Amino acid sequence: MSIVQQLTNFTRGNPLLVLAALPVVLVVAKVVHYLVDSSDLRSYPGPFLAKFTDAWIFWTVSRNRWSRSVEDAHIKYGPIVRIAPNHISIDDPKALAMVYGHSTGFMKSNWYDIFAAFSVSNIFDTRSRSEHARKRRMEAHMFAPQSIRAVEPISH
């Protein structure tokens, strides 16, 4: 008899056992995912919960402290901070062009298509390189380093 059949037979008469075991199984699954992380995000420091779950993000947003919490995390951990199992935050002006630059070779995912459904397509949700370049030329002056520095004190 396989282990799956044995577990099925054992838990069939114990529904409370299944409910009690569920959190343990979820925690073990998160830990295993963390240990076999193929993207090597483990190497980036951050809040403990951020290694395993989006709970840290949920907690800070629900307390209306998202910006301040991320800033505090950067003060504590450095310019690259893991804020969720598959998300990092980068606080380094030199990385701006490398991450968000127009010619990075990365295309936006289809996740952005949902935003176009609610409004007229804008530079944020435009996935076409040529269309994005056209819109970018019209707005580039607003994102020049001196413009960003000018609004930084009031953006927090």
Report yes or no: 124 and 131 within 8 Å, Cβ to Cβ.
Answer: no
**Each residue of 22-54: pLDDT tens digit?**
777 777 777 776 666 666 788 899 999 888 888
- Token readout for 66 is 């998202």
Domain ranges of the chain: 1-36, 38-102, 107-155
**Each residue of 50-83: pLDDT tens digit?**
888 888 999 999 999 999 999 999 999 999 999 9
Angle at which helix 66-77 crosses helix 55-62, to 10 degrees, equals: 130
